[in-house]
Amino acid sequence: MDMSNSDAAQLTPHRPKVAVIGGTGMNQWPGLEILDSMKVDTPFGAPSAPLVVGRVAGVDAIFLARHGEGHKIPPHAINYRANLWALKEAGVEYVIAIGAVGAIAGWFAPGGLALPDDLIDYTSGREHTYFDGRPGSGLKHIEFNVPYAPIVREALLKAAKAAQIELRDGAVMAVTQGPRLESPGEIRRLKQDGCDMVGMTSMPEAGLAAELGLRYACLAVSVNWAPGIGSGDIHGQIEHWLALSMAKVRAILERALPELDVPG
């Protein structure tokens, strides 16, 4: 598993330090200039989609569609290992993951943004580590007391303040298996466990990033009240609040990317 053999490194002159992993709602970005698109392979297979190099606010960054082109890959079937490995090989140091989540905490109404600083993993059966016993993989028990990198979180908080956008600092993310949404009973359990929001992609993404030494944080977008907390058409809520929230997400990213893309 030699990091020096990199399709991504060979295919582009651009070596952005920052990557944005996006999912639902990140397919339109006015002002984003596309510079390159790379189809790469890794020891773990192909990532979800080509790595797209784009320039925004004068900064080159890599954008990766977590659910693939056309948003077709369900959360439990994403090749997270290939995604993170491809970003590392491409020279990325910082990863901002955009996550559309369901709100559990009363303060996190749909349309709100938050930066989780902790998580609980409820997933199962996902390929969650590079230290899997294959030849050359070795064994390392990484520390995970800080699942989301403070340096990336600080850049996002500073960017939100500059954009005059409210961004909650600190929350616990529940990561469930999907692709189905949770039952009301499951949400009651998550709330009792201390979770403020529920999503389906932060794990193993955050853990794999830590294994590779990538600085990773999640910008969480509340797009619906979790089942049993709110009422009405959940999918309708998701569509509505996602459309309204993406402009705020882009405004934060446009200010955060220059904060992270610095020499040194």
CATH number, residue 70: 3.40.50.1580
pLDDT of 259:
93
pLDDT for res 208: 97
**Is residue 182 one of the residues assigned to a domain?**
yes
pLDDT at 33: 85
Q: Is residue 230 part of a domain?
A: yes
236 belongs to a structural domain: yes
Give strand pairing partners of 26: none
Query: What pLDDT is attached to residue 234?
Result: 76
Residue numbers of the domain that contains 166: 7-260
The count of domains in the chain is 1
Residue 32 lies in a domain: yes
Residue 154 lies in a domain: yes
Mean pLDDT by 10 residues, the chain (264 residues): 44 76 66 87 95 91 89 93 97 96 95 97 95 81 93 98 97 96 96 98 97 97 90 75 85 94 71
